[in-house]
């Protein structure tokens, strides 16, 4: 089943709990949490305390996207906080396989993320060990950027590799997705769609999610 993952980065942080409850009620499948450290990306966002707080107010899985250097230093903290998935960027993990195995040992589902310019071959060695591959369709750091069109080809290529080898992983795509373009992202082979602006900056979350489901079917 295809899934919609609202990214809290575009939510109203002064009412974060209400915002998350509202998208849950509107039919979201999981909650995407963008963690940024001011080093791997320029922006700084939230840490384990926010994941822990969200864990108490929603029953949805928490999809924690770590845009941080040396993510291995924080895996335990994010696992204890209640993450369902933890995804780490291949660009900052010279020992990617070991990091993925650590995440799984912590009873969290491991995933790997690629920036738009990082080639798929970087993750070939871990495709049989991850539950999720997250392909960035914008350069990470900020919400509200435009979808990079060449991502579609990359999604298609990964879809083929996953199907041919029957890897048990889901393909997630993050950045610049909206009602207007989710259909082509879905057709390219994505399973999970992250939307910040495309949900939280719309008037009626329920209606937006209904339209998104229609388009991505
Ligand atoms: C970008 C983040 C995304 C972003 C998505 O660095 O990883 O999750 O918030 O926001 P939109 O949908 O506005 O591109
Ligand atoms: Zn993200």
pLDDT tens digits along 101-111: 999 999 999 99
Q: What is the mean pLDDT of residues 38-59?
A: 98
Point out the catalytic residue in the list 29, 63, 131, 174: 174
Q: What angle do CA 67, 198, 63 make, to 5 degrees?
A: 40
Are 135 and 171 contacting, i.e. CB atoms less than 8 angstroms apart?
Answer: yes
Per 3-state DSSP, the chain is made up of helix, strand and coil in percentages (nearest 5) of 45, 20, 35
| pTM for the full predicted model | 0.98
- Which of 174, 178, 192, 199 to mutate for ligand 1's pocket (most ligand atoms within 8 Å of CB)? 174
pLDDT digits (tens, 9 = 90+) for 125-180: 999 999 999 999 999 999 999 999 999 999 999 999 999 999 999 999 999 999 99
């Amino acid at each position: 089943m295809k899934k919609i993952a609202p990214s809290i980065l575009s939510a109203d942080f002064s009412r974060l709990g209400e915002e998350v409850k509202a998208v849950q009620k509107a039919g979201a499948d999981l909650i995407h949490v963008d963690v940024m450290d001011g080093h791997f990306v320029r922006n700084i966002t939230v840490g384990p305390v926010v994941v822990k707080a969200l864990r108490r107010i929603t029953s949805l899985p928490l999809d924690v996207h770590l845009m941080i250097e040396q993510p291995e230093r924080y895996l335990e903290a994010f696992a204890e906080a209640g993450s369902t998935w933890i995804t780490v960027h291949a660009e900052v993990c010279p020992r990617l396989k070991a990091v993925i195995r650590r995440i799984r040992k912590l009873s969290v589902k491991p995933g790997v993320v690629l920036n738009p310019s990082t080639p798929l071959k970087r993750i070939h060695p871990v495709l049989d060990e991850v539950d999720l591959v997250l392909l960035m369709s914008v350069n990470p750091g900020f919400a509200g950027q435009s979808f990079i069109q060449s991502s579609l080809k990359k999604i298609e290529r990964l879809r083929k590799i996953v199907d041919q080898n029957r890897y048990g992983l889901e393909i997630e795509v993050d950045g610049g997705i909206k009602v207007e373009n989710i259909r082509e992202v879905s057709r390219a082979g994505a399973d999970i769609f992250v939307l910040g602006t495309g949900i939280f900056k719309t008037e009626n979350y329920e209606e937006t999610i209904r339209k998104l489901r229609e388009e991505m079917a």
